Structure 1
Amino acid sequence: MDYETAHTRTHNIRKFYKSIFIFALFAVLIIPDDIFGEKMIRFHLFDRYTILAIWGFIILVKAVKLFLFDSEWEKDMIEKELKKEKKPINY
């Protein structure tokens, strides 16, 4: 892994953790307000909980992309495909 790739990956991981922190901060501020104020949680279309759920799903997708399908995985797949092309075709 060269410096540019490592720098980009480190930057993306930092952004990911920052987004988790901001999400957690908003969740901590929003959820207790409803629980202690109304004594129950109600779901409506595009209320606070729906927005938090969508936001959480987006963070989950980013995590999968960042940690499961990272650049090393992509690099390995490209190398495998290039090796397949170099093999002679037997007829």
Structure 2
Amino acid sequence: MKTNNEKINYEIAKNRVVRLKKFYSNLIVFMVVLLLFYCIKFLKYELVDWSQIRVNLIFVIWGLILLIQAVKLFLFNSNWEGKKMNELTNKYNNP
């Protein structure tokens, strides 16, 4: 039988894997849509002048959202959450 700490650690790990999966799938969709957008533009105008390409606002906003997700996911590690949860559960379980 699993202890409370093992269950908590499992849930934290499961949550992190779900968040990683969402982030990578969003990143892939972003890259595919961006690539398709510029490929269609290239096929339509047959020449791409990189100095004249304007970035659409939607891609900037989408990119910023992905950047924020990446910072939250990779820079702010969830170890402190697990430590704090263990500390609080131990505190309430052992008065």
The answer to whether 1:51 aligns with 2:58 is: yes
Deviations 1:38-70 (A, max 9, x none): 334443xxxx62211211111011000000112
Question: Where does residue 19 of structure 2 map in the other structure?
Answer: 12
Structure 1 vs Structure 2: percent identity of aligned residues? 34
May I ask how many residue pairs the two structures share in their alignment?
75
Task: List alignment gaps of at least 5 residues for structure 1.
Answer: 79-91
Q: What is the CA–CA distance in structure 1 between the aligned matches of 2:77 and 2:69, rounded to whole Å?
A: 11
Q: What is the CA–CA distance in structure 1 between the aligned matches of 2:37 and 2:19, rounded to whole Å?
A: 27
Question: Where does residue 79 of structure 2 map in the other structure?
Answer: 72
**TM-score of the aligned structures, taking structure 1 as reference length:** 0.66
Task: List alignment gaps of at least 5 residues for structure 2.
Answer: 1-7, 85-95
SS where residue 56 of structure 2 aligns?
helix
Could you tell me how far 1:34 is from its partner in structure 2? 1.8
Could you tell me how far 1:10 is from its partner in structure 2? 0.5
Aligned-residue CA RMSD (Å): 2.5
Q: What is the CA–CA distance in structure 2 between the aligned matches of 1:4 and 1:64, rounded to whole Å?
A: 21
Whose relative contact order is higher, 1 or 2, with alpha carbons under 8 Å and at least 6 apart? 2
**TM-score of the aligned structures, taking structure 2 as reference length:** 0.64
